[in-house]
Amino acid sequence: MLFAHGFPEFWYEWRRQIDEFGRDHLAAAPDLRGYNLTSKPRDIEQYRVKHLVEDLRALADHLGAKRFVLVGHDWGGAGAWAFAVAHPDLLEKLIIINAPHPGVFVRELHSNPAQQQASQYMRMFCTPEAEEILTPDHYRYLIDALLTHGLKRGYFDEEDQRAYVEAWSRPGALTGGLNYYRAARMLPPAPGNAAPEPVVDVAALTVRVPTLVIWGERDSALLPGNLDGLDQFVPDLTVRRVPDANHWIVHQKPELVNRYIREFLSA
């Protein structure tokens, strides 16, 4: 099993899944390129999703996996979707957590004003000023986005905060994470502008792997509309909606996430 994290996480996102599934699988959760301890290419083009796909393929090959289970969240989920399209023969099963399928997401960015508004942060992340916005007061912006809710409710603690701040503080790590947004070809239109009509090739984006999608419905960045019509792209699809969880469901409800994954793997 390979676990691919999102922004602004690092391998640490999956610590509870590694503890659980490492009991009966070879379970690996790497830092994705640009994050924490990994290499950090300077060329923004090196953060295109196709390179993330190749990183995951190469890691699986290095570990000797002929076929494996791929789990992805956020940008790791974007890579996981792309991996399943490109290499279905390498996957036993695919598990996605709050990461939209590209064919659905481009539709939502075109036609759903609520998703357009919710995605405006992506435009800010692409600006040269993004690091200056996210860094002050010991990464207060990122702490509030990821950790503050959990610190108040007990699913994060001060040790977790120290781990994240240490990862964000490594030279080049924040820029590496932001470069995924800068390299993306899929951004919301600026307020007041119309999005171009998308051209979606359903056949080219079809996922021919048994797929579980777990979705915290209180996600304020990726709205539940990203589940509508998903079965058009994923014929063998299981969806688990969690009404009282948000984008950080992996941290909020690790036992539930693990249970849903266990049920899916044993089906």
Residues noted as catalytic: 74, 181, 247
Angle in degrees, CA 53, 57, 61, rounded to 5: 170
Which residue is listed with tokens 């044993």?
266
Q: What is the CA radius of gyration of the chain?
A: 17
Distance of alpha carbon 258 from alpha carbon 263, whole angstroms: 9
Q: Quick check: 2 and 58 in contact, CB under 8 A?
A: no
Neighbouring CB atoms inside 10 A of 206's CB total: 16
Neighbouring CB atoms inside 10 A of 172's CB total: 15
